[in-house]
Amino acid sequence: MPMNRLLYLLLPLMMLVASCNREKQPATPAEVSNSLADIKAKGKLTVVTDYSSTNYFIYRGQPLGYQYEMLQELANYLDVKLELRVNSDLEKSFNLLNTGEVDLIAENIIITRERKEKVDFTIPYARSRQVLVQRKPNKWRSLNKKQLEDALIRNPLDLAGKTVYVQQNSAHVSRLRHLAEEIGDTIGIMEVAENAEQLIYLVSIGEIPYTISDEILARVNQTYFSDLDVETAISFHQNMGWAVRKGADELLTELNGWMSEFLTSKRFKAIYARYFENSKSGEILNSDYYAINSGKISPYDDLIRHYSEKLGWDWRLLASMIYQESHFKNDATSWAGAFGLMQLMPATARRYGVDVNSPARDQIRAGTDFIGWLNKQFKDIPDEAERVKFILAAYNIGPGHIIDARNLARKNGANPNQWEGNVESFLLRKSDPVYYNDPVVKYGYCRGTETYRYVHEVLERYTHYKNIVIPQKE
């Protein structure tokens, strides 16, 4: 076959392959929207942070954390929903930011010249030094001050020939490299995947000899592990800030304006004190229900896993629902007579063979049996994730009102199988006589705001549980 004929036949195929390859390429920063208006139009601020005992964690079923609470304040200020993603590798977070998967990185990022070439930073919200984290010698309490000081590294020069473990891609790596140059000797730098807090823990149990941390985090962890010493600084004080994409000037201006006011507010001071000045904060880390360490959400996790498996649900979803109902309090009662972990109404409880004196196992069994029954009532909703929203709503307010809202949605041209922006809107309208007197409505008036919030809060908490609590492997 002549070459020009062959090229003629292959050209469409080559163009198709090139087109497919282009489609697979990630967005470049120039292609990503930097508009604050777009964030507000979406109604959502997507943020990546890291999990730790100060920044973001689950404790007794509730999301908490210094960064988490500040971000909630920011989201409220912007009047948008907060969507959190978790990542402990800063380079990966930079990639998520610059490809448009997140709008903001919110963690204790040390601002360096190198990093300013990749992203733009907010005004600093904190300053901290990098410190050496080392373990005090055995029986250190019996040593006098001089003996203790002699057993510890106090001069960074003495790190020569030592091995220090630090998180990969962290500012601690470059600081150690510069320090090695300054002292004219070798420092063994072991870059590992574990984050700073995990490395501090490994120092505390003697698994590794040294690590580097910012002083704020190090001092918080020292309250948990009394055998740690964090007094040796290896840097000057450095600024910390949040990061946005290059060119996101409108968002950056808004963030800086909010932050400059918020950092002087009583609310910020209260948040800071809760995580960094609270002598009881060590109780969190040592609790069985500090989820980062224990993987536990509640005292009832095993029962929740068992009965959620029968439902075909992620156990963390059922756990979020139970927290919403009772905060995991087995003796909880409501003004309307609902009781127990699942807050079953007496009539429903009798239907499933339980009462106020029934043990937790029977209450969870009865509650999940009821959820299974609700699943059958909405089996015509094909998308399982959507069906869950209808089940949650029906559990809260009863299936009749949800059926009414679906009928109203169908009559008014909305999607009866879609919760957000469709059926939920008509549930909210069932307090309006124009709607609750409509012939398709069989169950009359209802105030749907509580149910609207219920579905949103259960699913939001479920997202936090998924961020922090990793499913157990079979």
Q: Is 114 part of the annotated catalytic residue set?
A: no
Q: What is the pLDDT of residue 6?
A: 40
CA–CA separation, 301 vs 322, rounded Å?
Answer: 11
β-pairing verdict for 62-64 and 188-192? unpaired
Mean pLDDT of the region 41-55: 89
- Per CATH, the number for 301-468 is 1.10.530.10
- Give the position of tokens 């999607």: 415
| Structural element, H or E, at residue 148 | helix 145-151
Confidence of residue 18 (pLDDT cuts 50, 70, 90): very low
CA–CA separation, 408 vs 427, rounded Å?
Answer: 9
Boundaries of every domain in the chain: 29-126+240-285, 130-235, 301-468
Q: What is the pLDDT of residue 277?
A: 77
Confidence of residue 34 (pLDDT cuts 50, 70, 90): low
Of the candidates 53, 463, 60, the one whose C-alpha atom is nearest the C-alpha of residue 300 is: 60
Contact 122, 183 (CB under 8 A): no
Of the candidates 125, 67, 121, 68, the one whose C-alpha atom is nearest the C-alpha of residue 245 is: 121
The per-residue pLDDT for range 97-128, each reduced to its tens digit, is 999 999 999 998 999 898 999 999 999 999 99
- Among the listed residues 107, 197, 325, 424, the single catalytic one is 325
Binning the chain into helix, strand and coil, the percentages to the nearest 5 are 55, 15, 35
Q: What single DSSP character describes residue 73?
A: H
Model pTM score? 0.71
Contact 471, 444 (CB under 8 A): no
Geometric angle at alpha carbon 458, from 447 and 296, rounded to 5°? 150
- Per CATH, the number for 29-126+240-285 is 3.40.190.10
The per-residue pLDDT for range 232-251, each reduced to its tens digit, is 999 999 999 999 999 999 99
Report helix, strand or coil for 470. Answer: coil
Q: What is the 3-state secondary structure (H, E, C) of 181-195?
A: HHHCCCCEEEEECCC
- Give the position of tokens 């948008």: 80
User: Which amino acid type is present at position 187?
Assistant: I
- Give the position of tokens 């106090």: 154
The per-residue pLDDT for range 121-134, each reduced to its tens digit, is 999 999 999 999 99
Same fold, 29-126+240-285 and 301-468: no
CATH fold for the domain made of 130-235: D-Maltodextrin-Binding Protein; domain 2 (3.40.190)
| pLDDT of 27 strictly over 60 | no
User: Which amino acid type is present at position 292?
Assistant: I
- Phi-psi region for residue 155, left (φ > 0), alpha (ψ -120 to 50) or beta? beta
Geometric angle at alpha carbon 267, from 264 and 272, rounded to 5°? 85
Share of the chain above pLDDT 70, in %: 88
